[in-house]
Structure 1
């Protein structure tokens, strides 16, 4: 996790690796067995009929899982872009805080001289103006970071809603524990703290990465 010393907060929390792991979970294919070769009779026909129904259900599940994987892949790309922007803003904020500290020292020095030498009053005024200019620049960077955080969190909520909409509502889907847990929990883990430091499954990894 990046240490945003200049900004004082993380505008784009998340782990692209955790998102990729969740996407990979969604992309797993679920095979359906066939009727054993040589098995005939009413029982075999019954199994064949049931398997055809399962294949139909599984097609819907696979479609939903692929859609969820695409949503997560797009979010990973957005996440990386937001984090690069956050890191750039933080570098600018660090430099400006350093300049602001130097400017404050200059204001103090010029003010002390102006108190004894009226000729230094203009120097002091220039130092104050420079300090105020740097302070405004820092405020602009911090505001940009706050807007980035707002947009980042809004997009995370949209991702959670899209994932919810892709969750298949079939009996077969209930058996897909990883996918079911992932889609059910994503809305809370996108922006909230992880439920535990170490877990198993895509949702746990995603929660740990995005906390």
Structure 2
């Protein structure tokens, strides 16, 4: 995780690697259950075959939803990386400005101690104050940009959560698929840090919980 010492906060929380891993697991899908043995006949075999057809149909719906979720996650991973690159650029600017601001503050103190002696010293002090104030203004502008980026980043994360919630299958088979539920740990990382293994309630539900 990036250390935003210039900004003082992380405007674009998330783990692109975890999102990409979740996308891969969604896209990988799973195999359909195989047919019953040919030698198995009778009422039980007929009942199993009927249920198997229903299960395969449900699995097809789940597979479709998982692929759609993979597309959503791929898009979010791209957005996340772009936002984080922007945050890093703003942090570099903020760091430079903070260093310059510290030097300007020292200059203000130094010239202030001399300002009472001559008109030139007073003018130097006024110039130092003006430079300090200008640097402060520039830093505030960078911090405002970072806060705006954070607002947009979180809003997009919530839109992603809504899209994932819309894609989550509601079938009984989907609820039983541990592979589908397992990706919720990665989804929670989008805003709240590393995956949390305790998340098992379903992909969209856990992602929603991860957003707080």
Matches within 5 A, 1:28-107: 28-31=28-31, 32-107=33-108
Does 2:122 align with 1:129? no
When the two structures are superposed, what TM-score results if normalisation uses the length of structure 2? 0.84
Q: How far does residue 178 in structure 1 lie from its aligned partner after superposition?
A: 3.4
Q: How far does residue 27 in structure 1 lie from its aligned partner after superposition?
A: 1.9
Q: Give the distance between the partners of 1:175 and 1:184, measured in 2 at CA.
A: 17
Aligned residues: 206
Out of 85-94 and 108-117, give the one that drifted further.
108-117
Q: How has the CA–CA distance of structure 1 residues 34 and 5 changed in structure 2, closer, same or farther, with 3 Å as cutoff?
A: same
Give ranges in structure 2 of 5+ residues lacking alignment: none
* Deviation by residue 1:58-109 (Cα, 9 ceiling, x = unmatched): 1111111111111111111111111111111110000000000111111122
Q: How has the CA–CA distance of structure 1 residues 185 and 100 changed in structure 2, closer, same or farther, with 3 Å as cutoff?
A: closer
SS at match of 1:179: helix
SS at match of 2:115: helix
Residue 150 of structure 1: aligned partner = 151
* Deviation by residue 1:99-158 (Cα, 9 ceiling, x = unmatched): 001111111222222111222222211111111111000000000001111111111111
SS at match of 1:147: helix
Q: How has the CA–CA distance of structure 1 residues 135 and 190 changed in structure 2, closer, same or farther, with 3 Å as cutoff?
A: same
Q: How has the CA–CA distance of structure 1 residues 174 and 46 changed in structure 2, closer, same or farther, with 3 Å as cutoff?
A: same
Q: How far does residue 24 in structure 1 lie from its aligned partner after superposition?
A: 2.0
Residue 139 of structure 1: aligned partner = 140
Does 2:62 align with 1:27? no
Out of 131-140 and 104-113, give the one that drifted further.
104-113
Q: How far does residue 195 in structure 1 lie from its aligned partner after superposition?
A: 7.9
Out of 130-139 and 112-121, give the one that drifted further.
112-121
Q: Give the distance between the partners of 1:75 and 1:26, measured in 2 at CA.
A: 14
SS at match of 2:128: helix
Residue 16 of structure 1: aligned partner = 16
Contact 1:11 1:149 in 2 (8 A): yes
Contact 1:14 1:210 in 2 (8 A): no
Residue 170 of structure 2: aligned partner = 169
Give ranges in structure 1 of 5+ residues lacking alignment: none
Q: Give the distance between the partners of 2:27 and 2:129, measured in 1 at CA.
A: 59
Q: CA RMSD in A?
A: 3.0
Q: How far does residue 194 in structure 1 lie from its aligned partner after superposition?
A: 6.0
When the two structures are superposed, what TM-score results if normalisation uses the length of structure 1? 0.84
Q: Give the distance between the partners of 2:12 and 2:173, measured in 1 at CA.
A: 36
